[in-house]
């Protein structure tokens, strides 16, 4: 959301920017959105948000995932299990932003230093990503698993999967996000954040961003107050991680 509002989470010296204009606008947006959320939304888990959608308790999910398609096909009323009823909308951008932003799940492989058989690991990856093998992996959770290889993405074998055909418009949005380079992993605003900001996992795990949203949307605190508290916590986390350069 902050990216869609033209903001960043940290500056070049790793100082949090939680009290920025873009962040305050984003928090205010959350406060306005909260009025339309199902009662008790703050206590809902991941699957509850889907059940709100296919159970017709909510008209929209802000951050939905491709696996929602299979849940809709299983549990929504029969006449509603289609893209005419449930479709994906490219996220809007905020008043200070110019383009939408989306979060992407990624397929992360790690080859550890000192591994006993690094060549074997590389051989396995080459085998895994052969179209005919990768396709089987993708088929296990179609729509949610969007192929990272263009060769498979463009292949008839992939496009002919019945579920892919039924939910093609969902995949189109994912493709557009990737084509326009507007999808990033969690908390990554710029691609160099992946290497320049090693403390992001601590920021995510601490819940500081989630708590800021809860402060404004559930506790009703002013955005500036929530942002100030978040800023202090985030600064402490970055310092504890030894990454503070300001």
Partner 1 sequence: MQTRGLPGLLLVLPALLLLVTLTLYPVGYGFWLSLHAKHSLFPQQTFVGLDNYLYLLNDPEFWESLRIGLIYSVSTIALQLVLGVAAALLLNESFLGRNIVRGLVLFPYMIPTVVAVILWKWMLNNQFGLINFGLVSLGISNEPINWFGRSYIMISLILVSVWQFFPFVLLAVLARLQSIPTELYDAARVDGAGPVNRFLFVTLPQLASVLFIIILLRSIWMFTKFDTVWLMTQGGGAERYIRTMPVYAYLRTFNYYEAGMGAAVAIVMFLMLVVAATTYFFLFRQEDQL
The site for partner 1 (CB under 8 A) is made up of: 39-46, 48, 51-52, 55, 57, 201-202, 205-207, 211, 214, 218, 233, 237, 240
> 98 — alpha (psi -120 to 50), left (phi > 0) or beta?
alpha
CB of 65 to partner 1, least distance (A): 15
Shortest reach from residue 212's CB to partner 1, in Å? 11
- Judged by beta carbon, residue 70 or residue 206, the one nearer partner 1 is 206
How many other C-beta atoms can be found within 10 angstroms of the C-beta atom of residue 18?
25
Q: In terms of CB distance, is 143 or 208 closer to partner 1? A: 208
Structure tokens at 49: 């948000």
Whether the Cβ atoms of residue 70 and residue 163 lie closer than 8 Å to each other: yes
Minimum CB distance to partner 1, residue 39 (Å): 5
Q: How far is the CB of 200 from partner 1 (least distance, A)?
A: 11
Nearer to partner 1, 50 or 170 (CB): 50
Q: Least CB distance from residue 47 to partner 1, whole Å?
A: 11
Give least dist CB 141 to partner 1, A: 21
- The smaller minimum CB distance to partner 1, of residues 34 and 173, is found at 34
Closest approach of partner 1 to the CB of residue 115, in Å: 17
CB-nearer residue toward partner 1: 103 or 155: 103
Phi, psi of 104 (to 5 degrees): -120, 135
Q: Between residues 114 and 162, which has the closer beta carbon with respect to partner 1?
A: 114
DSSP letters of the chain? -TGGGT--SB-TT--B-TTSHHHHHHHHHHHHHHTTSPTTGGG--HHHHHHHHHTTS-S--SS--TTHHHHHHHHS-GGG-STTTS---PPP--TT-SS--EE---------TT-S-HHHHHHHHHHHTSHHHHHHHHHHSTTTS--SSHHHHTSHHHHTSHHHHHTHHHHHHHHHHHHTT-EESTT-SSTTHHHH-TTHHHHHHHTHHHHHHHHHHTS---HHHHHHHHHHHHHHHHHHTT----
Nearer to partner 1, 118 or 207 (CB): 207
């Amino acid at each position: 959301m902050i990216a869609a509002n033209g903001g960043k989470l940290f500056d070049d010296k790793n100082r949090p920017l939680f009290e920025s204009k873009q962040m305050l606008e984003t928090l205010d947006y959350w406060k306005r959105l909260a009025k339309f959320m199902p009662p008790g939304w703050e206590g809902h888990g991941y699957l509850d948000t889907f059940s709100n959608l296919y159970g017709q308790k909510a008209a929209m999910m802000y951050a939905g995932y491709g696996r929602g398609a299979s849940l809709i096909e299983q549990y929504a009323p029969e006449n509603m299990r289609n893209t005419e009823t449930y479709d994906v909308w490219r996220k809007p951008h905020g008043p200070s932003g110019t383009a939408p932003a989306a979060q992407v799940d990624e397929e992360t492989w790690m080859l550890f230093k000192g591994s006993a058989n690094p060549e074997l690991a590389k051989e396995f990856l080459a085998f895994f990503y052969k179209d005919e093998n990768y396709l089987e992996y993708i088929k296990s959770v179609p729509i949610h698993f969007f192929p990272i290889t263009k060769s498979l993405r463009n292949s008839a074998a992939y496009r002919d999967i019945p579920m892919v055909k039924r939910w093609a418009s969902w995949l189109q949005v994912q493709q557009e996000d990737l084509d326009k380079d507007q999808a990033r992993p969690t908390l990554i605003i710029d691609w160099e954040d992946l290497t320049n900001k090693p403390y992001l996992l601590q920021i995510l795990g601490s819940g500081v961003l989630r708590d800021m949203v809860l402060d404004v949307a559930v506790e009703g605190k002013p955005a500036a107050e929530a942002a100030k508290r978040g800023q202090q916590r985030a600064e402490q986390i970055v310092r504890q991680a030894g990454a503070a350069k300001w």
